[in-house]
Structure 1
């Protein structure tokens, strides 16, 4: 499971809640989080006048498994 970990705090919180719901659905109920952490992935270049800037995107990864 991964979700974009950029933006306002309330937006990141909503994404995490959505990830919980998706994991619950994928496991038909109970699951456990085995590992999680952030990783940069992709991004966008933004041109302003004579300069171009690269804005890195950060994603949060969650490895999970179904509980028996």
Structure 2
């Protein structure tokens, strides 16, 4: 999986946190007529208030397996 951070320097920490959530997701391969096919998922996250003082959030360790979708 590839993560392309496109963010202002003051928001890169928040972008990294969201990226960490997404990297923890488990995806099932796409199928058409029971045959695997290439697929891509693009997730865009908009974070408001660029004037907020520094973000100090730390991702919470996962305690249980993520549900399969």
Higher helix share: 1
Q: Same fold (TM over 0.5)?
A: no
Higher strand share: 1
What TM-score comes out, normalization by structure 2 length?
A: 0.28
